[in-house]
Amino acid sequence: MINKNHQRVFRNLQPRNKKGISGIVSVAIMIALVVVAATIVWTVVKNTIEGGTEEREACFGNFEKIGLDPEYTCYNPDTNKVQFTIKRGNVNLDSAIVLVSAGGAIKSYELTKLDRIVPELGGCVNNGLGIDLIKLPGKTEGTTYVTFASAKPESIKLAPTIEGVLCDISASITNVPICYSRECSIGACVDSDDPDAGEIKGICTAENGRYEDSCDEDGKVVEWSCPAEVCISSSVDCSPGSCNEGICTS
């Protein structure tokens, strides 16, 4: 038989404040939830930081190794053809996106490491737009491509993908020159003002160099052109006018 002393002991062992205990449990649960939430947030932030670091490491220092060559990039208004040249240094590339803005429209072309057909884009040699198998230039090489545009492009931009990361625009040409080229391959003779001798200051580019129209000591225009596969100069008499910065003026 349990005596009164034992009953008092049992009563003392029983919880007296259930609300107090439930409050402690609630606080403990809230702390656990806060810890879990903080862990999730930190994981997301960490992945974002690490992803940004990887992107900076992949793209940083490589912008100057992939770009557009302005000497072999131009627009021919007679044929509505746009040619642009990509020059690549010693850099690993997955692909590159070229954006051509002309006549209020933007066309994009993706070049990869593998030969493939790119709609509305052709190689320089065959000029078969949407037919030629084309790809990125090899390391330390340059390749010229051809497409159509309804008007003189406002800009041509290039964005490379390096180590799986799409980088920002690495090259941009906003003042696309006019050209009347017979060929578009690098090294072919290109005269930017053909056939307007003396009326427009032109630039001739070929294997033997790059030459701008100028004025000689007699006040005549020194006109550079492409009668063959190299740049050759000739003299244009501006009489009764005179030569001014490679152009005949009245």
Which tens digit of pLDDT belongs to each residue from 10-28?
Answer: 455 455 555 555 667 777 7
Decide if 180 is inside a domain. Answer: no
What's the angle, vertex CA 72, arms to CA 199 and CA 209, rounded to 5?
75
Q: Does residue 3 sit within a domain?
A: no
**112 and 23 together in one domain:** no
Round to whole Å and give the CA distance between 222 and 230: 16
DSSP at 180: -
Domain region containing 194: 190-249
Q: What CATH number is attached to the domain comprising 119?
A: 2.60.40.10
According to the model, what pLDDT value does residue 53 have? 46
In tens, the pLDDT along 53-97 reads 445 567 877 767 899 988 888 888 888 889 898 999 899 999 999
Tell whether 134 and 40 lie within a shared domain.
no
Query: How many distinct helices (H) and strands (E) make up the chain?
Result: 2, 20
Give the count of domains, the chain: 3
Evaluate whether residue 231 is within a structural domain: yes
Q: Do 159 and 80 belong to one domain?
A: yes
DSSP helix/strand/coil, 37 = helix
Residue 153 and residue 84 in one domain: yes
Residues 67 and 153 in one domain: yes
Question: Is the model's pLDDT at 157 over the cut of 60?
Answer: yes
Q: What is the pTM for the complete model shown? A: 0.55
Model pLDDT for residues 172-192, shown as the tens digit of each residue: 999 898 876 444 544 455 555
Render the burial of 11-35: b for 16+ CB within 10 Å, e for the rest.
eeeeeeeeeeeeeeeeeeeeeeeee
3-state DSSP helix/strand/coil % of the chain, to nearest 5? 25, 35, 45
Tally of residues, the chain? 250
pLDDT in tens, 119-137: 999 876 555 666 778 899 8
Query: Residue 100 in contact with residue 151, Cβ under 8 Å?
Result: no
Alpha carbons 189 and 229: distance in angstroms, whole number: 5
Residues 167 and 195 in one domain: no
